[in-house]
């Protein structure tokens, strides 16, 4: 797995976003999102490449994937071994950023699709606080066995497409409800008229959300 770090051109970073891409993509997908993210505070962006592994759904073809996918149902996307292995990788990256001076409440996990699933799973089981969790076109895997250690007032940004044929809107709705059932009190769900993608409006909303949270910490 590769890790790519981009620090702000000007000023010292006041927050750090750790990005996880979707199935078969790589870190460059999230780099494109971060490049146009409208934020009012300097940020460090850390982009992760998922391990290369055979994916059952794609005829066992090796590709970058956080975990295996067996089929099209949501229950076919719960490769527990792969999810927990990737969780450990992401947790190590969080620990590294913490050791480099970022306070817990300035660290954000963000992901798209499979990466969003990992952001939610890893975030909810984090041993330390986080500034927030961002899940774009994703869902919460292994929800029935998660006993959150993350503070219940941690902000969570969920973005989804109303016409998504890959991560069905019903899956996102169910995941949002699962978060609320776990008593997370700061869940923000934005729905967009799109398929399995990230749209400009979503990037704008996400940038405002991050900026507001970090400016609030400074006030």
* Predicted local confidence at residue 217, as pLDDT: 72
Q: Which structure tokens are listed for 145? A: 């066995």
Q: In terms of residue numbers, what domain contains 70?
A: 3-218
pLDDT digits (tens, 9 = 90+) for 162-177: 999 999 999 999 999 9
Locate tokens 């000007």: which residue?
10
Closest CA to 16 of 48, 43, 47, 49: 43
Which pLDDT does position 165 carry in this prediction? 95
7-24: pLDDT as tens digits: 998 889 999 999 999 999
If you search the block for the tokens 């984090």, which residue do you land on? 126
Question: In whole angstroms, what is the distance from residue 188 CA to residue 180 CA?
Answer: 11
Write out the H or E segment, with its range, that includes residue 200: helix 200-218
Question: Structural domain tally of the chain?
Answer: 1
Which positions are annotated as active-site residues? 113, 164, 196
- Per-residue model confidence as pLDDT tens digits over 112-171: 999 999 999 999 999 999 999 999 999 999 998 899 999 999 999 999 999 999 999 999
Q: Which helix (H) or strand (E) holds 31?
A: helix 27-35
Q: Enter the DSSP assignment of 50.
A: P
The enclosing domain of 64 has a CATH number of 3.40.50.1820
Share of the chain above pLDDT 70, in %: 96
Averaged over 91-102, what is the pLDDT? 97
Read off the pLDDT of each residue in 32-55 and give the average, rounded to a whole number. 95
**β-sheet bridge partners, residue 112:** 136
- Mutual orientation of helices 80-99 and 114-124 as an angle, nearest 10°? 70
């Amino acid at each position: 797995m590769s890790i790519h770090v981009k620090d702000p051109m000007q000023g010292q970073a006041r927050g750090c976003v750790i990005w996880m891409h979707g199935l078969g993509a790589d870190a460059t997908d999230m780099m494109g999102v971060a490049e146009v993210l409208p934020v009012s505070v300097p940020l460090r962006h850390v982009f992760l490449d998922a391990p290369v592994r055979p994916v059952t759904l794609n005829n066992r073809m090796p590709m970058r994937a956080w975990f295996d996918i067996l089929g099209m149902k949501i229950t076919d996307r719960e490769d527990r071994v792969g999810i927990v292995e990737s969780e450990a990788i992401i947790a190590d990256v969080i620990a590294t950023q913490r050791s480099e001076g970022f306070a817990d409440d300035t660290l954000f996990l963000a992901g798209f699709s499979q990466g969003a699933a990992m952001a939610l799973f890893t975030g909810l089981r984090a041993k330390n606080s986080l500034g927030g969790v961002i899940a774009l076109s994703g869902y919460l895997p292994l929800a029935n066995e998660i006993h959150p250690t993350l503070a219940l007032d941690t902000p969570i940004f969920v973005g989804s497409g109303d016409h998504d044929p890959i991560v069905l809107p019903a899956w996102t709705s169910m995941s949002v409800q699962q978060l609320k059932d776990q008593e997370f009190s700061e869940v923000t769900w934005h729905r967009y008229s799109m398929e399995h993608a990230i749209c400009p409006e979503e990037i704008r909303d996400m940038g405002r959300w991050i900026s507001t949270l970090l400016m609030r910490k400074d006030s």
